[in-house]
C-alpha cells in the first residue's frame, strides 16, 4: 500500500457539497491499495503512519508522532498514487488494486488506525472529492509498504 502523509493544521473533504470528514491538527493521509496488497499491508502501513515522528517536540525538532501529539487523521482514498509515468504523457494505473479490493483495504487501513486509538475521519471511496487543507510546515512524507520487507 502507498500513502502520502501531510502534516496539517486542519483538513476536510467534501463530496457533492457535503463534508464527509474534517480534522484539526493531525495528518491528511492519501492512501492507495496496490495489486497484491492484503490486510497485512494495511495494518503495517497504519502502524508506520501512527508512529511516524513528524510533529515538533519542545525543542522544535520533528520527534513526535500523531499519537504523541493527540492529533487526528483524515484518510482519503487516492488510486492515482499508483500512477505509472514511465512512458508517454498519460499515466497508467494498472498497478492499483481493483476497486472492490481497494475499498476493502482502504476501510481496513482506517480501522487499523482507530485500533491504535487515533481519531479517524474519512473521504468516500470512489467519489469525486474536494479536499482542502492547511499544510503545516509544509511536511509531506511518502510511504510504501513495498519499500520494506
Q: Is the predicted pLDDT of residue 64 greater than 60, yes or no?
A: yes
Burial 82-97 (b: 16+ CB within 10 A, else e): beeeeeeeeeeeeebb
- Paired residues of 28 in beta bridges: 6, 74
Q: Is the predicted pLDDT of residue 22 greater than 90, yes or no?
A: yes
> Annotated catalytic, 95?
no
Catalytic residue among 80, 93, 95, 140: 80
User: What's the whole-model pTM score?
Assistant: 0.95
Q: How many Cα atoms sit within 13 Å of 140 on the Cβ side?
A: 6
Mean pLDDT score of the chain: 96
Kindly report, residue by residue over 89-108, the tens digit of the pLDDT. Answer: 999 999 999 999 999 999 99
CA distance 120 to 108: 12
Share of the chain above pLDDT 70, in %: 99
CA distance 25 to 77: 20
Coil, strand or helix at 96: strand
> Annotated catalytic, 22?
no
CA distance 41 to 60: 32
Q: What is the pLDDT of residue 148?
A: 62
CATH number of 2-147: 3.50.80.10
Catalytic residue among 55, 79, 109, 145: 79
Amino acid at each position: 500500500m502507498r500513502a502520502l502523509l501531510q502534516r496539517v493544521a486542519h483538513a476536510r473533504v467534501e463530496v457533492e457539497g457535503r463534508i464527509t470528514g474534517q480534522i484539526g491538527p493531525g495528518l491528511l493521509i492519501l492512501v492507495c491499495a496496490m495489486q497484491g496488497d492484503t490486510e497485512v499491508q494495511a495494518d503495517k502501513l497504519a502502524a508506520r503512519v501512527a508512529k511516524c515522528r513528524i510533529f515538533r517536540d519542545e525543542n522544535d525538532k520533528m520527534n513526535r508522532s500523531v499519537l504523541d501529539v493527540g492529533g487526528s487523521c483524515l484518510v482519503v482514498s487516492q488510486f492515482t498514487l499508483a500512477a505509472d509515468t514511465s512512458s508517454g504523457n498519460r499515466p497508467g494505473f494498472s498497478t492499483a488494486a481493483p476497486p472492490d479490493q481497494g475499498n476493502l483495504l482502504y476501510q481496513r487501513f482506517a480501522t487499523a488506525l482507530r485500533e491504535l486509538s487515533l481519531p479517524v475521519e474519512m473521504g468516500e471511496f470512489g467519489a469525486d472529492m474536494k479536499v482542502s487543507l492547511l499544510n503545516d510546515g509544509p511536511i509531506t512524507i511518502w510511504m510504501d509498504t513495498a519499500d520494506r520487507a
